[in-house]
Structure 1
């Protein structure tokens, strides 16, 4: 089947808009709220220089998701308990970025937002292999490298003390990173955080490293939550904008102030095999009005194997372990067939890359409800389907987890989270979800 070259289908705006041509891009963050941009936003300097075809964009995001899921699979399969400072290996560049000011006087960087990584790190002066703007440490009067005697040095992966600084190495997707542990003031919206500890990248190989660094929003001791506990009480929420949003900015709200009053919660669970991840208890999935018959083991939380369901900001499309995905997919297909009154022989289901449920004709799609302990999240078609620009191809935006024996994680991903406020209330061990127009 021939796929025409479309403009980036899931981003229904012109990528030719520049940062300085859009006044919305110049709006300042305020209070403790930061704007969140997609990497393909008109406000992002990291958008493709040439518009990708719809097929290319989908396949590219699928490939990154696959790498992220394979990493999670390898991680939970380890026999030993993963330390709390588990940001030592992460995967692929996350999808959403926020603006942070670092140093004195401040230098502005756009950092990738990642709820499954602890440490923050940015490219610094003299970095070899860095592909974007770097933080000029020589121009900041508050910058300070940390030595091997610093207690934070024990929290980074593979620390070495060949020189005066505490250095460490880590992998990120297909990249390797060498960094020095450092401190400086980071300002988020209007909140200065003096003495913030981060990795100052000195060398990077490969193309997986987010160009201007990463902000870790997981639960370990070097994460943003831990380092700003006095300021934000380990509480934050985000609202991710839809791929179709013209202004294409959501928000990251730090701290308990201003969080939604009316919101449903589900308990956050801890898994010692990946203590930084945000596990929740997914008990069932409903397609339309029918609760799908999924083997209980496919959804069960198991701290011994690392199995269960996580909420992740860096995975684009929701992934379910094979038995769960197959059951959900088959019920979705049945509902499409019945709702569209098309004979089976004419209801040709096609595939695109990792998506195996695509249609070349207009469809009426059912809602899908993820039933967590204590709350249900019902997703409308915009959170379930991706369409080509011309509307000739429509796919269910979910897939099976990687096919290997260690695939025990279900991941509730960012496309399914779009236009919802996701609240992480770590002190009370709960996660909230509420519908909200994010732009």
Structure 2
């Protein structure tokens, strides 16, 4: 454990040294902000969460899909990529080694840097997380300037520049399945060169980022840095630092899927009742299978078949034995358990909570009714899906279940902070004061 931690610190130190040495002879990075903020929105057709950054010289607004498992920022470098600050990464360079990019390729390029194909450049294999299509021959590793909004924790601020932001040039063919209009993927994975790692290293911020995902037609945010994350609850006029609402649980390492974020779910309760499941499925085996991960690309939480059946059976039985004036109705794809009506409350339908029991009985992530039921085709459906009999992860916590929740990914301390639904406290992610946006 100590050796792995020291190796991580050395890697971050090398990245910081690279940034300092390269910015010394080019455009300097902006003064250190308190934190950096991205504005998030939810795509209607794909349910992907997207953001925008400003990249290149002259600057261009670049829409991206967020993914917690992707290692890099990668984006399309087609014919429209024009930038005087684009720099390919040379084979054998420290940055090439830091990115663990082991392919070196020479291709006939005209004089001057041509995005996507230059002589003796370092290349990385990247993957489309939706289609699983990859670039087996590798894609060019490069740097360019990007600009992001700073923040004081209460409002968005002015733009700050990162002059040598590392990314991978992807072919147009790799964009399939992504939200319409996006240029690529902002990788937030647990890697040395992921999007948040580079931002934090450049501005010497804590290796921490927080997500507050929005429902459709609203804005959410991603904070890069330790906060504060100040929001004003509806009608109160008071500022609340959302960090005070967090409960923490360790992040678990997967020996195979090292860039993903896993947590140690120990059990599941529905309406306070323990669900009887095969708990061996909650552990990660030597091949990287099992356990519980968090994904922004799964619209709804997916559970291994036996876990799904156990949870839905208990939920449906409790509904049937309740005094609610409701009845089971025909399934609505992709959901199996749908009901005609429920009494409503300020925080969603009046049904039981679903709890993920974490490292102890007292550490529980509550999935509130607002996040467990979805209104579709004029009925309410339990927003969980059957993930099959041998999925890579036994439980994948999907985007819908964490909308209007705050999640803080603390890589330095290897822990996840979670709030459960903010709506109980009359807070929505969209309440943040978005005074300016990139």
TM-score (ref. length: structure 1): 0.71
Distance 1:290 1:195 in 2: 52
Structure 2 residue 309 is matched with structure 1 residue 326: yes
**Which of 376, 384, 402 in structure 1 is aligned with 2:372?**
384
**Which of 374, 381, 388 in structure 2 is aligned with 1:402?**
388
Structure 2 residue 205 is matched with structure 1 residue 261: no
**Which of 222, 226, 233 in structure 2 is aligned with 1:252?**
222
- 2:49 match: 96
- 2:215 match: 242
Conservation of the 8 A alpha-carbon contact between 2:67 and 2:188: yes
Distance 1:428 1:208 in 2: 34
Distance 1:305 1:144 in 2: 36
Q: Which consecutive unaligned segments of at least 5 residues does structure 2 have?
A: 1-33, 108-118, 150-158, 230-241, 344-349, 423-427, 431-438
Conservation of the 8 A alpha-carbon contact between 2:35 and 2:225: no
- 1:14 match: none
> Secondary structure of 1:336's match?
helix
Conservation of the 8 A alpha-carbon contact between 2:78 and 2:172: no
Deviations 1:226-269 (A, max 9, x none): 323423322100101124xx5x1001111013143311100011
- 1:421 match: 406
1:348-387 to 2 correspondence within 5 Å?
348-362=328-342, 364-373=350-359, 375-387=363-375
- 1:35 match: 39
**Which of 307, 312, 316 in structure 1 is aligned with 2:295?**
312
Distance 1:267 1:31 in 2: 23
Distance 1:213 1:145 in 2: 18
Once the two structures are TM-superposed, the CA of residue 156 in structure 1 deviates from its matched residue by 5.8
RMSD in angstroms over aligned alpha carbons? 2.6
Distance 1:216 1:205 in 2: 15
Q: Which consecutive unaligned segments of at least 5 residues does structure 1 have?
A: 1-29, 41-47, 49-60, 62-93, 127-133
Conservation of the 8 A alpha-carbon contact between 1:219 and 1:225: no
Distance 2:269 2:168 in 1: 43
Deviations 1:266-315 (A, max 9, x none): 00111111111111011121111212122221323445543211122221
> Secondary structure of 1:204's match?
helix
Once the two structures are TM-superposed, the CA of residue 145 in structure 1 deviates from its matched residue by 1.4
Once the two structures are TM-superposed, the CA of residue 438 in structure 1 deviates from its matched residue by 0.9
Distance 2:65 2:286 in 1: 29
Structure 2 residue 103 is matched with structure 1 residue 159: yes
Conservation of the 8 A alpha-carbon contact between 2:123 and 2:140: yes
* Closer/same/farther in 2, CA of residues 203 and 414 from structure 1, 3 Å limit: closer
> Secondary structure of 1:355's match?
coil
Moved over 6 A (4+): none
1:208-247 to 2 correspondence within 5 Å?
208-210=177-179, 211-230=182-201, 231=203, 232-243=205-216, 246=217
Distance 1:162 1:373 in 2: 50
**Which of 167, 181, 188 in structure 1 is aligned with 2:141?**
181
Conservation of the 8 A alpha-carbon contact between 1:159 and 1:168: yes
Conservation of the 8 A alpha-carbon contact between 2:35 and 2:226: no
Distance 2:357 2:94 in 1: 42
Structure 2 residue 429 is matched with structure 1 residue 438: yes
Conservation of the 8 A alpha-carbon contact between 1:320 and 1:400: yes
Conservation of the 8 A alpha-carbon contact between 2:288 and 2:392: no
Conservation of the 8 A alpha-carbon contact between 2:196 and 2:224: no
- 1:115 match: 68
- 2:112 match: none
**Which of 291, 294, 300 in structure 1 is aligned with 2:277?**
294
Once the two structures are TM-superposed, the CA of residue 339 in structure 1 deviates from its matched residue by 1.8
- 1:199 match: 168
